[in-house]
Amino acid sequence: MLTNAYDTPHVRGDAEKLNLFRNSRKLTAILPIALVAFMALSLVPVTHAYGKANWQVGLAGTGVFPTGGSFGFWGWCAFVGVSSGGDGDCQVSQYLHLVGIFTGTCEESFSITSWAGTGGTFVISGTVTVVPVSQTAFCLSFFPGSATFTGVDTGIPSAAGHCNFGALFGSPRGEFQIQVTQIS
């Protein structure tokens, strides 16, 4: 039994078509705006805190001491310039666990103000911030020695390639690897 004129199949179908038409008009109005916004954002150049890197470095190492304990680090660096420059960034995380003696975990954030790679390794100057602050002394004792540094040799080769140093540290079992990539 029909209760009003809008319950008839013919009229109800037209009403649904009308709502669908209104929704498609909204979509038709919104879609071009969304596309223009997307295109505008995709054309904005990506910005970096330190500019376009010409060198990228990845490094990682781990070790286990036979007497108990372990250490490790992982990080990356980006340098702006061909053979030297005034801009760069490094992020390095490290840990040291000596059973019953010491445990420390931290991250260093380097702001490189100058660097050179002409002597076979990257030599850097700048500042470093440590997180957590309570681990600053521990973290800086490994590298670079202080929160402000000048002319510190990183030991990272300044030539593109992969270096597998194996168990570089002698008695600990582990690995140490560096990947250096030059971007033209």
Mean pLDDT of 93-97: 95
For 49-78, how does the pLDDT look when each residue is reduced to its tens digit (9 = 90+)?
456 889 999 999 998 888 889 999 999 999
Bond before 66 cis per omega within 30 degrees: no
Rounded Cα distance, 91 and 77, in Å: 6
For 120-139, how does the pLDDT look when each residue is reduced to its tens digit (9 = 90+)?
999 999 999 999 999 999 99
pLDDT at residue 48, as a whole number: 45
Answer yes or no: is pLDDT of 156 > 70. yes
Rounded Cα distance, 88 and 67, in Å: 38
Which residue is listed with tokens 């992969």?
162
| Secondary structure string (H, E, C) spanning 124-168 | EEEEEEEECHHHHHHHHHHCCCCCEEEEEEEEEECCCEEEECCCC
The whole-model pTM stands at: 0.68
